[in-house]
């Protein structure tokens, strides 16, 4: 966790964020078993487990080599209009846009593109993803700093993140969340318990304590200290 502190103050309380290192997760892994092997020995009562959405998606078989994705003409055109951001490639290449079309449906992506274009003319940002939904915004494209082999993959968002969080929580007997984090913010995609406050969670995780490069720590533990 280079340049990241394990402790953080939120609302007058101090929390420890403990990264948990694992092997390189693949589609042959079961997320419940990964958690039980690596995180369960470290968990204490009243901890909150948080898991990278990318790791969950990979175990669900939702990671695709870029070279195997054939982008259509529309995906090529639409991707050229995507604003590039400092935290990832997003839908800015034909392959990620093609997967967004497959995930969200052509009609929704077209509507999102039109509204996004109008929003840009009005000086607004983010309209495209607000309309396209989390399935589009959760797509991760290939980046050179990502842990291999996923630096050459497109990874979709996880399916049924709430259900996954509840299944894991049932095994470890502690609250669990699935989070989509980067160095510029994030989203909470799944919670085992709806009483877990998303805004509080994002405050605790705002500096992306797991990192997003080659740390190989897709799981973390939040502990009040």
pLDDT digits (tens, 9 = 90+) for 146-199: 889 999 999 999 999 999 999 999 999 999 999 998 766 789 999 999 999 999
pLDDT at 208 over 50: yes
The pLDDT score that the predictor gives to residue 89 is 79
Task: Give domain 7-62+158-224's CATH architecture.
Answer: 2-Layer Sandwich (3.30)
The pLDDT score that the predictor gives to residue 14 is 97
pLDDT digits (tens, 9 = 90+) for 21-52: 999 999 999 999 999 999 999 999 999 999 99
Average pLDDT, the chain: 92
The pLDDT score that the predictor gives to residue 84 is 65
pLDDT at 97 over 70: yes
pLDDT at 118 over 90: yes
State the average pLDDT over residues 202-224: 89
CATH 3.30.1330.100-classified regions of the chain: 7-62+158-224
CB 94 within 8 A of CB 141: no
The pLDDT score that the predictor gives to residue 1 is 45
CB 172 within 8 A of CB 179: no
């Amino acid at each position: 966790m280079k340049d990241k502190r394990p402790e953080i103050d939120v609302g007058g309380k101090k929390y420890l964020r403990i990264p948990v290192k694992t092997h390189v997760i693949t589609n042959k892994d079961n997320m419940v078993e990964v958690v039980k092997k690596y995180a369960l020995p470290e968990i204490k009562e009243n901890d909150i487990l948080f898991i990278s959405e990318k790791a969950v998606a990979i175990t669900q078989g939702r990671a695709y080599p870029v070279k195997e994705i054939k982008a259509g003409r529309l995906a090529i055109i639409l991707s050229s209009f995507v604003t590039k951001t400092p935290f990832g490639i997003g839908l800015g290449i034909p392959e990620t846009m093609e997967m967004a079309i497959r995930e969200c449906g052509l009609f929704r992506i077209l509507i999102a593109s039109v509204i996004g274009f109008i929003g840009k003319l009005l000086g607004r940002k983010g309209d495209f993803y607000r309309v396209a939904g989390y399935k589009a915004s959760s797509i991760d494209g290939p980046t050179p700093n990502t842990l291999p082999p996923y630096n050459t993959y497109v990874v979709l968002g996880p399916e049924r993140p709430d259900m996954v969080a509840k299944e894991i929580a049932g095994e470890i007997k502690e609250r669990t969340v699935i989070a989509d984090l980067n160095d510029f913010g994030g989203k909470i995609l799944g919670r085992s318990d709806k009483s877990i406050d998303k805004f509080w969670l994002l405050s605790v995780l705002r500096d992306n304590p797991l990192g997003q490069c080659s740390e190989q720590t897709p799981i973390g533990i939040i502990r009040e200290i």
